[in-house]
Amino acid sequence: MIQCNTDLPMEPLIPKAKIEKLLEEKKHPEKRGMVNVYICRNCSHRIMFVYFDTGVTPFTMKCSNCGKMTAESCMVSGDQPDSIWYRPNDISELKQIVEDAYKYNENDYKKMSKEQGLSKKEIKEIILRNYIKHYNQGGLFGRARP
């Protein structure tokens, strides 16, 4: 069960420049411009991203075609991606990503809310806490290519 303690302080968002410096110090490989594709093991749908920033991405993700959490990552070249991996500039942009994620996965979150007795606000807070942690560890977020 996911526990949501709203009395705990929210982890602060580390400035983008500091994260990029930390990634550089860790000798994180430069991936800007490289194409990353997720292929769903359930329906074979492909979701493609290009690295806009250097950082960490998830190994698996929810398939936008069948909705199952079975899309796995691999690097490819030559194809035109649909989306980009990028690092948000500030907390307001990260909060918008939370809103978008909630809308995209609304049925899953409603089920979680019913099963665990969590409000919509508590679920969004859990998502934000997890996203801040991911961001502070050099994590990137996906969005449609501009």
Report the pLDDT value the prediction gives residue 3, as an integer from 0 to 100.
41
Give CA–CA dist 46/96, Å, rounded.
25
Is 87 within a domain? yes
Give the total number of structural domains in the chain.
Answer: 1
Report the pLDDT value the prediction gives residue 42, as an integer from 0 to 100.
87
Domain that holds residue 68: 16-144
Average pLDDT, stretch 10-30? 71
The closest alpha carbon to 140, from 30, 58, 37, 59, belongs to 58
- Would you say residue 57 has pLDDT above 50? yes
Is 59 within a domain? yes
Edge-to-edge, what's the strand order for the sheet holding 46-51? 60-61, 71-76, 35-40, 46-51, 83-86, 141-144
User: Residue 52 corresponds to which tokens in the numbers above?
Assistant: 């806009």
Report the pLDDT value the prediction gives residue 2, as an integer from 0 to 100.
39
Report the pLDDT value the prediction gives residue 79, as an integer from 0 to 100.
61
Report pTM. 0.60
Is 57 within a domain? yes
